[in-house]
Chain A
Amino acid sequence: GENVEQHPSTLSVQEGDSAVIKCTYSDSASNYFPWYKQELGKRPQLIIDIRSNVGEKKDQRIAVTLNKTAKHFSLHITETQPEDSAVYFCAASAGNMLTFGGGTRLMVKP
Chain B
Amino acid sequence: DTEVTQTPKHLVMGMTNKKSLKCEQHMGHRAMYWYKQKAKKPPELMFVYSYEKLSINESVPSRFSPECPNSSLLNLHLHALQPEDSALYLCASSQGSNTGELFFGEGSRLTVL
Whether chain B is bound by chain A comes out as no
